[in-house]
Amino acid sequence: MPSVVIIHAAEDTLPARALAEKLRLAQIQVVLEKPPGEELRAAVKGAPVTIALWSPRSTANNEIAEEVKFARGKSNVFHALMQSAQAPEAFRSDKSVNLTGWRGEDEFQPWRDLAKLVTDKAGVAPLPPPAPKPPSGFFQPGRVNEGGAQTAAPQGRQPQQQQQRAQQQQQPRQQAQPQQRPTPQRAAPPPQPQRSIPQQDAEPKKGGGMVVIAAVVFVLVAALGGGGYWYMTQNSASATSASWDAIDRNDADGLRAFIAGDPGEYREEAEQALSSLEERSFESASDTDTIEAFEAFLNDFPDSAHATRASGRIAELRTLQPTTETPTEDVPLAPETDPDLLPPGTTTTPAPDTSGGPQPITPPSEENTPPADQPTN
């Protein structure tokens, strides 16, 4: 289901909600109450239509104007004007609809125009025509002409003329009739007392009370069951809405967990947010162009359509890295011995050769070697 983003100031939250409720009647998913920033721009990128809601409180808001300028290059932007407000100068040439004086009536023509623009660009069925107004019920009979056409009777004159004619016709008739003598009235006989006939009391019907009690119990159970179901449904919808509002749109694992649960009416919006995050993450990794960036993308989106490209780019970057050589440490040489500092009778030993060849053996001097016949201690 396509979505529509409403850009509005924080002070215009209530009229934005009213507009969103009317748009939802056309099976349109509406995104609103998003502050200026990356989250709002991400929603604009995935929505085919954006509505900029202008009021005297938002026309001077530079942040709202910047978000609307961004939306002009990403979506179809329409401007809705409230309370006789005018759109900022930069948007005067765009399509706008003046909703001043609208109270939610379906037959309000500017609202019908805005709904048609939105449904056409969103690709959904248009709103049904407004219901016709019921007749007032006032009917005034009139005189029927010879041709069958009915004309309205003049008020005030015709009833008076008819009364005068009727009085004139009754006067000759009353004069022509002979006067009759009044007949004497006879006294009515005195009333005679009548005996009352004993009547048997009607036996009360058995079982009627039980039927009434059963009906009352059934109604109460049905009412409690319906109320409980409504309460559970409302709580579930409220919990789902709160969970969706608390999810970070830049957390891939959080979005997947929400979709795997019971997202309700927010499933499509969550899937769009996850897809948008995947595209942004791959673009960021491509701009960075490092092995670490592509590996982080594959960790977040291992099943992405860009996984093959990311893996291939990691392999290319690894072949381009230079081989590191192990540094060799120089073996320090022993300092040469000064012969003037040696005691008499000692010889200097040359420094060992570190070239790796065989080392010469220096025999001891004769002066330091005792004779063979000299005893040793």
| 222 CA to centre of own chain | 34
What is the rounded distance in angstroms from the CA atom of residue 28 to the CA atom of residue 144?
54
Q: What three-state secondary structure class fits 103?
A: coil
53 beta partners: 80
Could you tell me the pTM of the whole model?
A: 0.38
What is the rounded distance in angstroms from the CA atom of residue 16 to the CA atom of residue 18?
5
- Percentage of residues of the chain with pLDDT beyond 70: 61
- State the Cα angle at 61 between 59 and 63, rounded to 5°: 130
The secondary structure of residue 266, as a DSSP letter, is: G
**Which residues lie closer than 8 Å to 36 by C-beta, 6 or more apart?**
63, 64, 66, 67
pLDDT digit string, tens, across residues 221-248:
877 777 666 666 666 677 888 888 888 8
- Tokens 């010879």 locate to 146
Instruction: Locate 29 and state its tokens.
Output: 């998913």
The secondary structure of residue 91, as a DSSP letter, is: G
pLDDT at residue 254, as a whole number: 85
Helices and strands in the chain, H and E counts: 10, 7
The residue extents of the domains of the chain are 3-122, 252-320
Mean pLDDT by 10 residues, the chain (377 residues): 83 92 88 91 92 92 93 91 92 92 90 91 84 57 49 49 64 54 60 58 60 85 71 70 84 86 85 89 90 89 90 90 61 62 64 59 59 58
pLDDT digit string, tens, across residues 294-352:
899 899 899 889 999 999 999 999 998 766 555 555 556 556 666 666 666 666 666 56
What is the rounded distance in angstroms from the CA atom of residue 315 to the CA atom of residue 309?
10
54 beta partners: 81
Architecture of the domain made up of 3-122: 3-Layer(aba) Sandwich (3.40)
29 beta partners: 3
**Which residues lie closer than 8 Å to 339 by C-beta, 6 or more apart?**
348
